[in-house]
A and B are shown apart, each in its own frame.
Chain A
Amino acid sequence: MAAETIPPGAGVKDPFIGDDTLRPAFFEWLCRMGDNALILGHRTSEWCGHGPVLEEDIALANTALDLIGHTQMWLGLAGEVEGKGRSADDLAYLRDAMKFRNVLLVELPKGDMAVTIMREFLFDACHHLLLSWLADNAKSPRVAEIAAKALKEVSYHLDRASDIVVRLGDGTAESHDRMQAALDLLWPYAGELFAGDEVDSALQDAGIAPDLTTLRDNWDERVRDILDEATLKIPDTGGYTHLGGKQGRHTEHLGFLLAEMQFLQRAYPGASW
């Protein structure tokens, strides 16, 4: 499959592309960025035509569309960094679950609108901080450029998700209970966004990615403010966090998602679409 879009900054000289020492970690990290966008975009797109109100249907399709756009950019760059000629499509459609690097949070089934919106909020609050840091500070110009482009859209996603979390949390008794149940379900998965490993350390040392502890502190503050306003309580999980997605150990849900998403590419290898 040939890459069909030219990623932003493709003409810019980036010293990290072709850096053999950093290559494996940089590739892993870019797959994490791309896979989070891809899998969350896929889950969000499942709502298309089934939303609770027309405006919401349109907004969800828009969000999914933005995320698929981010996927094309991150996985496109991942393929370049890897240097084996794989395109964004090759990475999206021809890897099996254990090669996917998204956090578990984004692959959980879409659930009801409470789960969908709460997940988007928890993820976007992190995504927004991360992209802001990358756009301003990442020493890789290609990464900074993609982040700057994605940030414009994610700022809107975060505003919208935060607003709905507050409204539904402080709406009716039922909407409150559903939002609380969604928060209880998802909270133990949120910590993985900030659980660093050697890949994160290598990227932080290279000046490409931020310190996740600082990111977490900022995230905590922002998330707590909104949840407070929404009259929702953060569950006491004793600090327990589900981990593994970033290293390729997933839930049972991802395999089914990929079976559906990759069907045509798998059934008709080599065809052009």
Chain B
Amino acid sequence: MYAQLVKSDGLKSREEMSPEERAFQDRVDNGEKIEPKEWMPEGYRKTLIRQIGQHAHSEIVGQLPEGNWITRAPTLERKAILLAKVQDEAGHGLYLYSAAETLGVSRDELQEKLHSGKMKYSSIFNYPTLNWADIGAVGWLVDGAAIMNQVPLQRTSYGPYSRAMIRICKEESFHQRQGYAIMMKMASGTPEQKEMAQDALNRFWYPSLMMFGPSDKDSVHSAQSMAWKIKMNTNDELRQKFVNETVPQAEYLGLNVPDDKLAWNEDKQGYDFSEPDWNEFFEVIKGNGPCNRERLNARVKAWDEGAWFRDGLNAYAEKAADRRKAAPVAAE
């Protein structure tokens, strides 16, 4: 998903909970939605801010690898589709920042934390888009992996987050189909196009598997988040589901999943597959991925260079408000 390694406190047992916490947990267990002004444990609020904030940042930074090909899209129709898609991602960022704001944190505060490196975004966006098929692979695999995580989050306990997810999932499943449509065109195209498609799958396969986060046995933050229903499935469950769904799609395209150990396992009714290189994952999270610096610099530059623009609009709004105050009857 777009939020990895979100920190939360350790799981509290029922005996350790205060009466308020117990009542809160009962509501979550009963499937009730928690709404912004209702009481919630501080840990719940903080974990949600981290998770929703990280998700929002991922949508915004995620514009960059795809935006990289807007000016080189091969046809007018592809250009229009890609523009519409990247604009959707910005829209998702907007809903999610708005959902986070209901928890008492402003969009500016969250963005400042992104720019200063205190908050992260999904590791996947630190990989480059090198050929046109990458735009297909991002839609197919990256949006596909995101959907695996986001569909269950439509049922998450926090109302605004759940409602944002419902809207986002509708658009994401459309994105995934457009990505797969590009892959179909490329995989059935000229030998060069097929080579681009295979190259894209080779580079995006393992980073997509990493999107689900490290194995559950190494994931220290999952238990409390699962009890609060802000995480609905374990990382390994979702990764397995993703592989099971994606491998036949790759076969249909006539492309090879870059994993020698990939094999159908009749007993578990799922594929056995190789783990991604978790050292690489942690390096990327630390800032050593191929595009970490470029991505963050691009966002910081956009923000810094946009300061005069935002200040100008604010100054005008203040002047306009003063003018209205100075002439209260003018409009009558």
Residues of A within 8 A of B (CB): 1, 4-5, 38, 42, 45-46, 48-58, 61-62, 64-65, 68-69, 71-72, 75, 88-89, 92-93, 112-113, 164, 166-168, 170-172, 174-176, 178, 260-261, 263-265, 268, 270-273
Residues of B within 8 A of A (CB): 60, 63-64, 67, 70-80, 83-84, 86-87, 90-91, 93-94, 97, 107, 132, 182, 185, 189-190, 192-193, 298, 301-303, 305-317, 319
**Are B132 and A264 within 8 A (Cβ)?**
yes
Given the known A-B contacts A53-B310, A174-B311, A175-B311, are A71 and B94 also in contact in the complex, defined by CB atoms under 8 Å?
no
Given the known A-B contacts A68-B76, A273-B78, are A62 and B308 also in contact in the complex, defined by CB atoms under 8 Å?
no
**Are A58 and B309 within 8 A (Cβ)?**
no
Given the known A-B contacts A45-B79, A65-B80, A265-B74, are A50 and B302 also in contact in the complex, defined by CB atoms under 8 Å?
yes
Chain A nearest CB, measured from B183 CB (Å): 12
- Chain A residues with CB under 8 Å of B319's CB are 170
- Chain A residues with CB under 8 Å of B97's CB are 54
Inter-chain CA distance A55–B182, complex, in Å, is 28
Best-surrounded residue of A51, A71, A164, A171 (most CB of chain B within 10 A): A171
Inter-chain CA distance A34–B91, complex, in Å, is 28
A-B contact pairs, 20 of them (CB 8 A): A42-B71, A45-B71, A49-B63, A52-B303, A52-B305, A53-B309, A57-B63, A65-B84, A68-B83, A89-B75, A92-B76, A113-B306, A164-B313, A166-B316, A168-B309, A175-B308, A178-B308, A264-B72, A271-B190, A271-B193
- Chain A residues with CB under 8 Å of B91's CB are 58
**Are A273 and B74 within 8 A (Cβ)?**
yes
Best-surrounded residue of A42, A48, A62, A112 (most CB of chain B within 10 A): A48
**Are A264 and B74 within 8 A (Cβ)?**
yes
Inter-chain CA distance A113–B312, complex, in Å, is 12
- Chain A residues with CB under 8 Å of B86's CB are 48-49, 61
- Chain B residues with CB under 8 Å of A265's CB are 74-75
In order of increasing CB-CB distance, the 10 nearest A-B pairs are A52-B306, A175-B312, A171-B312, A49-B63, A61-B87, A49-B67, A273-B74, A264-B74, A167-B316, A52-B309
Given the known A-B contacts A52-B309, A72-B76, A72-B77, are A272 and B87 also in contact in the complex, defined by CB atoms under 8 Å?
no
**Are A93 and B94 within 8 A (Cβ)?**
no
**Are A52 and B83 within 8 A (Cβ)?**
no
Best-surrounded residue of B67, B71, B312 (most CB of chain A within 10 A): B312
**Are A4 and B298 within 8 A (Cβ)?**
no
**Are B316 and A170 within 8 A (Cβ)?**
yes
Given the known A-B contacts A49-B67, A54-B90, A271-B190, are A175 and B315 also in contact in the complex, defined by CB atoms under 8 Å?
yes
Given the known A-B contacts A61-B90, A271-B190, are A4 and B77 also in contact in the complex, defined by CB atoms under 8 Å?
yes
Chain B nearest CB, measured from A117 CB (Å): 9
Best-surrounded residue of B60, B86, B309 (most CB of chain A within 10 A): B309
**Are A260 and B71 within 8 A (Cβ)?**
yes
